[in-house]
Structure 1
Amino acid sequence: MEPLLVTRELVAGYGARPVLHGVDCEVRPGELWAVLGPNGTGKSTLLRAVLGVAPWVRGEVRLFGRARAEWEPRALARKLAWVPQSFEPAEGFSGLELVLMGRGPHLGLWGLPSAKDTALARAVLEELGVASLADRPGEALSGGERRMLLLARGLVQEPELLLLDEPTAFLDVAHQVGTLDRVRARVDAGLGAVAVLHDVNLAAAFATHVLLLRDGKVLARGPVDTVLERGALEALYGLPMETALAPSGARLFAPRAPSR
């Protein structure tokens, strides 16, 4: 199956000092890649470089079989959706209007959403368990509620590839699990996705593959059951780790408490 995303020897960053150093990865349909690593190691920069927002110095980015530079923005937006880490101004818009912005690449000359577009947006809000936010004014939304609407906007875009930068930030545990569960359901149906995460256990529970980044370099990458193990995580975070097996069979990871 042809990859949706390929990076080869990617060197990218800001200013004179690159953040990423020779990053290789491939994402195919039906794969959810979790990107893990310490703060400042280049996880968000990787996604932004794929989008063309963070300049790369050397290497290659290919999307859907074509070089990133060959894509016209609107055409790419019909196939790739981006759920950013930071919030955008929401004042003056309802929750439904914010989500409908994701239909923009698919709209006609006048840019007006149809009844079908509105029905799709409401269905996604219902799927995510936040249908009550449809009529909520943007200025009355909490950080977590805005996060859920950003995800809904990305899903309404109906992409083939979904990039998510810390999609579980600002969310309670139930919504963290619900968010990744809905993304994984779409991945199982053929979507490709890359998510920057900080919670190793969420990555273990929902990702199919993981990419471990430290100091802008790939420490390890591959299927989650192969890569997520104590030694790799200790090298990634510079901390001793404990592992356990839950009665359900799920693997659990936690930093070892320092001796006192």
Structure 2
Amino acid sequence: MVTQFITGSGAADVAGTESQVADVARLAARGVTVGYGGRAVIDDLDVAIPPGVITTIIGPNGCGKSTLLRTLTRLLKPALGTVVLDGEDIAGLRTRDVAKKLGLLPQAPVAPEGLTVADLVARGRHPHQSWLRQWSSDDAEVVARALAMTGVSELADRPVDSLSGGQRQRVWISMTLAQGTDLLLLDEPTTYLDLAHAIDVLDLVDDLHESGCTVVMVLHDLNLATRYSDNLVVMREGSILAQGHPRDVITAELLYEAFGLHAQVVDDPVGDRPLIVPIGRTHVRSAS
């Protein structure tokens, strides 16, 4: 279990534990400030991604979730601070070497028209290609294994743009797996999916975690985030408000502080995680 980290007066109590987690993290941001057009979106932020678990970043719209994910993958360069990947400053690594260590699925990716599933997934092998090393039987085996792991082998010859939303997400995750990395970053992988397909994709993420992958996701659905995560990172206004296991982090007080959401937190009747019950102005059972 990951210890909860809370900003404010409680931060000093867990400073030693946070340092220990950062020491073993696959990926970490240290004092990172990132912005657009001179405006800081995340400011002096520290976060460590523990290995071998599913970490989900949650927070209200505009709080910096996707900005943080893009910074961790080096798509955005911080104005201040450092991102560390496997103990090295990511800014000093070659792009090809970063791609061999982590895979990113951005929001709503789009494939070229008519591209087949097999061809798209094969593009995941690009970081391993060079003029000295061309496509080989080993690459073909990696692609076949990635297709099988995501359950889309039978779709290999289908055009990507002919698939359903859930199938396309599985194919994009398959391409990420074909990179041969065990560190996956997924930016809102359930966007535009209905609930059944969203569960299907998150079950796949869970399977990948069980096979040894470290996963970092951004999700909007709070109950799906608590159900599928071992470690939550709660953001507000470009800072980390809390981090830890959902059982330790999710409280009615935190939900109001982070989201301005009135809610009750109860035990999930089918799992061992908290369940969030939002409270609106209507449709609330009266005390009588």
Alpha-carbon distance in 1 for matches of 2:44, 2:191: 28
Shift of the alpha carbon at 1:112? Answer: 4.6
Corresponding pairs, count: 260
CA RMSD of aligned residues (A): 2.1
Closer, same or farther: CA 110–180 of 1 in aligned 2, 3 Å: farther
How do residues 92-131 of structure 1 correspond to structure 2 at under 5 angstroms?
92-109=114-131, 112-131=134-153
- Counterpart CA distance in 1 for 2:135 and 2:197 is 28
Q: Distance in 1 between matches of 2:203 and 2:166?
A: 17
Q: Deviations over 1:106-157 (max 9, x none)?
A: 2353665433433432333333233333111134234443322211111221
Which residues of structure 2 form unaligned runs of 5+? 1-22, 284-288
Residue 221 of structure 1 is matched in structure 2 by 243
Q: Give the counterpart of 2:262 among 227, 240, 245.
A: 240
User: In the aligned structure 1, how far is the partner of 2:198 from the partner of 2:164?
Assistant: 15
Instruction: Between 80-89 and 179-188, report the one with greater CA deviation.
Output: 179-188
Q: 1:176 aligns with which of 198, 220, 225?
A: 198
- Please state whether the residue corresponding to 2:175 is helix, strand or coil: helix
**2:281 partner amino acid:** P
| Aligned equivalents of 2:142, 2:192: Cα separation in 1 | 25
Q: Is the 8 A contact 1:31 1:192 kept in 2?
A: yes
Give how far 1:44 is off.
0.6
**Residues of 2 paired with 1:217 and 1:28: CA distance?**
18
Within 5 Å, give how 1:202-213 maps onto structure 2.
202-213=224-235
1:202 is paired with a residue of what secondary structure?
Answer: helix
Q: Distance in 1 between matches of 2:257 and 2:179?
A: 38
1:3 is aligned, of 25, 28, 51, to 25
Question: Aligned equivalents of 2:151 and 2:212: distance in 1?
Answer: 22
AA in 1 matched with 2:280: A
2:84 matched residue in structure 1:
62
The alignment-based identity, stated in percent, is 36
- 3-state SS in 2 of match to 1:91: coil
What's the counterpart of residue 20 of structure 2? none
Equivalent in 269, 276, 280 of residue 253 of structure 1: 276
Does residue 91 of the first structure (1) align with residue 113 of the second (2)?
yes
SS in 2 for 1:213: strand
Cα contact 1:47–1:163 (8 A) shared by 2: yes
TM-score, with structure 2 as normaliser = 0.82
The amino acid across from 1:20 in the alignment is: I
Return the TM-score normalized by structure 1.
0.90
**Alpha-carbon distance between aligned partners in 2 of 1:3 and 1:163, rounded to the nearest angstrom:** 14
In the alignment, is the contact (CA less than 8 A) between 1:7 and 1:24 conserved in 2? Answer: yes
Deviation of 1:9 after TM superposition, in Å, equals 1.8
Kept after mapping to 1: 8 A contact 2:105/2:185: yes
Instruction: Find out whether 1:22 has 2:36 as its counterpart.
Output: no
Secondary structure at 1:44's aligned position in 2?
Answer: helix
- Report what 1:45 is aligned to: 67
| C-alpha distance in structure 2 between counterparts of 1:156 and 1:229, whole Å | 38
Secondary structure in 2 aligned to 1:22?
strand
CA deviations over 1:163-195 (Å, ceiling 9, x no partner): 110011133333322322332333344322210
State the one-letter code of the partner of 2:65.
K
Mapped to 2, the partners of 1:2 and 1:243 lie a distance apart of 32
- Is residue 55 of structure 2 the alignment partner of residue 33 of structure 1? yes
Asked if the contact 1:143/1:170 (under 8 Å) is kept, the reply is yes
Please give the alpha-carbon distance, in whole angstroms, between the structure 1 residues aligned to 2:117 and 2:266. Answer: 41
Change (3 A) 1:107 1:155: same
Structure 1 counterpart of 2:207? 185
Distance 1:114 1:174 in 2: 37
Deviations 1:33-83 (A, max 9, x none): 100011111111001112222231112211110011110011111111111
